Amino acid sequence: MSISVLDALRPAKKPALLTLVLVIGLFVGAWVHGKYLSDRSPVQPIDFSHTIHTTDNEIPCQHCHIYADTTPVAGVPSVSKCIGCHKSLPDVREGPEILKLAAYWENREPIPWIKVHDVPDFVHFTHKRHIKAGLECQECHGSVETMDRVTRVVTIRMSWCVDCHTEKEVENGRDCWTCHK
């Protein structure tokens, strides 16, 4: 008569299988969340690619985000700005995403872009000061020019702001009311 350990393990089979499924589910869930549900990289109404515009076609950031160096907000380009270029690009006019853009233009509706880099309402942030101080867009936004879908690479927290202000010795950069409002 031989003794098998399998008999002893049999009661543990079910929970083990369940655990395995759970672990796999966890990984799949995390991947799906990161890819499609996370606010770090939200799925936008139009699958706009910064890579095509900025890297392939070498359009500078401030060609579309025109207010970055003059006002607190950088500005999301209007539909007319998009259409303005795309009307004269017959080779991509029939693309599915361009047709979506055309539909917004026809319906006279703004594109409901989802904000990726959002600072809380109690924070005073101005793009102008940061651009004029000589910061590159990429220092805070990451390499957006290589992103097919914009992903937030930094965690926008007070410590992150203060660390940079301290490092760069910003004038009054650590006074609370420089950023809080």
Residues that bind another protein (CB under 8 A): 121-122, 124, 126, 128-129, 132, 172, 175-177, 180-181
Cβ 124 to another protein, closest distance in Å? 7
Q: How far apart are CA 96 and CA 102, in angstroms?
A: 10
Cβ 115 to another protein, closest distance in Å? 16
In the three-class reduction of DSSP (H, G, I as helix; E, B as strand; rest coil), residue 8 is classed as helix
Q: For residues 13 and 168, which CB has a smaller minimum distance to another protein in the complex?
A: 168
Cβ 181 to another protein, closest distance in Å? 5
Q: For residues 35 and 124, which CB has a smaller minimum distance to another protein in the complex?
A: 124
Q: How far apart are CA 146 and CA 8, in angstroms?
A: 55
Distances (CA, A) of 119 to 161, 180, 181: 11, 11, 12
Question: Who's near 25: CB < 8 A, 6+ residues apart?
Answer: none
Q: For residues 80 and 177, which CB has a smaller minimum distance to another protein in the complex?
A: 177
| Torsional class of 109: left (φ above 0), alpha (ψ -120 to 50), beta (otherwise) | beta
Cβ 57 to another protein, closest distance in Å? 32
Q: For residues 79 and 162, which CB has a smaller minimum distance to another protein in the complex?
A: 162
Q: For residues 63 and 181, which CB has a smaller minimum distance to another protein in the complex?
A: 181
Residue 51 in contact with residue 59, Cβ under 8 Å? no
Distances (CA, A) of 47 to 42, 50, 169: 11, 10, 39
Cβ 176 to another protein, closest distance in Å? 5
